[in-house]
Structure formats: C-alpha cells, structure tokens
Amino acid sequence: MNKLFYILIIVMTISCHNYYTVTAKSMPWEKVKVNKVIDNEHLLLFDGRVIKIIGIKSPSLINPEDPKYCFARSVNRKLHLLLENKEIKIQQDQTRKTKSGIFPRHLKTDDKNVAEFILSQGMAIFETDDVNTKYDKKYQKAADLAKDIQLGVWQECSNAKNRTTLKKYIHQRNFQKKYGHFLAPISVGRVKEVISGQSFRLENGLKVRLLGIETPLPQDPRKGFGCFGKESQKHLESLILGKRVFLTKDISQLSEERELIRNVHLPKNRKKGIPEIFINQKMINDGFARSFWPTKDEKYKDAFETIQQEVYNNPQGAWSICLQEILNQKQ
C-alpha cells in the first residue's frame, strides 16, 4: 500500500511539472499599462503589480559602489521614455510570482522585445536566473553585440563623463543601429568603392578592412611605397569592385578608424566554373600585400606568412612592378 502511494505521488509530481512547463511556454501576451518605472529593472503597473524585467541586470540607482553606477541615471531616463505611462505586453515564463510578491515577465512594445532592446543598447548586461529562460539565447546575442563595440555599460565609468567618451558612445550606438547585423560572424555586402589595397566601402557606407594584410596608401610619399599602394588598390578593384562579397569574422570587430575587420570571400560561380576566392590570401599570393597581424586574429597567420615568403623569393605583382620603377628612377 505504501509503495503504491509513493508511486502515485511521483507520477502526480511529474505530471504537474510537465503541465506547468507546457503552459508556461505557451503563455499568451497580456496587455497592461505601466504606471511608473521603479528602478532600472522593475516597473509598477496601473493594476498594482510590480514587474521584474527578465534577463537584464542594470546599473543600480542607489548603490554608488556599483561599478557601473555612472550609467544608472541615463539608463533610468531611457526606461522612463520607453515605458512609463505606456501600454505594453507582458508574458509569463516559468515563474508566476516570487515569494516577495514580484512578477517576473518578458516585456514587449509594439515593435520590440524590451529586454532585447535594453541589452542591445548597452543599458544592461544579460543575467539569467536559469528558470525563466525562454528568450535567453536572444538576450545573450543582443548583449554580445553591445559588448563587442563597447556600448553603454560595457565602457569604463572613469571615462564616461568626458565629452570624447560621450561622442564615442553616440557614435557606437548609431553604428550598431545602422550596421549591427554586420557584427555577426558572417555577413554579405556589395562593394561600392575600393579605398586602398587593404580597405573598401560597401554600398551602405560601411568601411571594411582586410584582416591579416597590409599595403601602403596610394598617396604614400615614400619612394616605391606610393607605387605599391596604387598597384595594390588597382588589383583589389579588379577583384571585388561592384561585386557581392562574404565577410567572415575571426576575433576582432572594428579597427580604431571604425572599419569592420574581416576575412573577405568572393563566392564561387558554378555556372562559370569559378571557385571561391579568399581575397585576403590572394592579395598576398599575387604580390600586392604583406602579411600583417597586429591583433589576436591569427587563424590564417601561418598560411599567410608561408605564402609571403614564397612571393619574397619570386617577386611578382607590385613587388616586381614597383621594384622596376625604383630602378628606372635611379637610371
């Protein structure tokens, strides 16, 4: 009898747990109106409920020892503008209500998931409670994008008050808004202009720098260097100008000049029988660039340096053209 009783209890427990999980995942979005923003993570609704925004950890307004305290007021102002006295939608995850009487919820305005937006703007860091995890992957991705370009709370407080940092913050925010999808591991764009042998501009205005190579600028005044820069630019133009290219990320995102640092590939053309071309490697292989690795992106470092040594031993491309130009000048 006792054994049957315990088995029954276990079955009921499992059944209840499964039912709770399924209903939590299928919870509908509920329309509510925000009375006021309490702090950078909690809202008071007009119906009296206090809502905790799931997935975020924002700077504290009342704790000066918070390492991100300097951002607290600006975050709070933005939350007021975004949510206060606004109609929004909320969704329950696994937890209906905490012991302290707070309702953890996912939030949504007409066009955005609120936590995802907050994280993408650097107004908070991502924090999971390992229970209410329905949108954790989405939240983590948004936070990673903000972190990659050091947006908002990902900056150091000691620098946040000066004007230079404020301008940088605005620039980073605008960059993410305009080009955020290009910070993904793989992106695609069409080349509008070749600036030099190592950089170009896409049709949307974004500048891209080829990872792992270096070339002089076309206007370099040093003897031979200007020649090398012009020849490298012409060669890169012949390869990619007007064409659709694939951009792949290694470790770095942006240079100090706000150029996207990427490996660049021309996709293969099956109809014409043209294989995929790795542009960074081809620029070295054809003698129009040298291997250069100032960052931690070293995926192709050994391969590039091996190819470069071969080109040194058998000069071709700009190495050959510009060497001959220098010799002619001496005559």
Whether 163 shows a pLDDT value over 60: the answer reads no
3-state secondary structure of 146: helix
**Number of C-beta neighbours around residue 256 at 10 A:** 5
Q: Would residue 149 be called left, alpha or beta, if left means φ above 0 and alpha means ψ between -120 and 50 degrees? A: alpha
Instruction: Name the token pair of 229.
Output: 């820069």
Q: What percent of the chain has pLDDT over 90?
A: 59
Q: What does pTM read for this prediction?
A: 0.57
Rounded alpha-carbon distances, angstroms, from residue 37 to 43, 44, 133, 165: 5, 6, 23, 27
Spatial distance between the Cα atoms of 218 and 231, rounded to a whole number of angstroms: 8
Binned at pLDDT 50, 70 and 90, residue 83 comes out as: very high
For the domain made up of 184-330, give the CATH fold.
Answer: OB fold (Dihydrolipoamide Acetyltransferase, E2P) (2.40.50)
Instruction: Name the token pair of 131.
Output: 């229970």
pLDDT digits (tens, 9 = 90+) for 28-82: 999 999 999 999 999 999 999 999 999 999 998 888 778 888 888 889 999 999 9
Contacts with 119 (C-beta within 8 Å, 6 or more apart), sequence order: 55, 56, 125, 126, 139, 142, 143, 146
Spatial distance between the Cα atoms of 331 and 329, rounded to a whole number of angstroms: 5
For the domain made up of 27-159, give the CATH fold.
Answer: OB fold (Dihydrolipoamide Acetyltransferase, E2P) (2.40.50)
pLDDT digits (tens, 9 = 90+) for 203-248: 999 999 999 999 999 888 887 888 999 999 999 999 999 999 999 9
Q: Are 27-159 and 184-330 the same fold in CATH?
A: yes
Domain boundaries of the chain, sorted by first residue? 27-159, 184-330
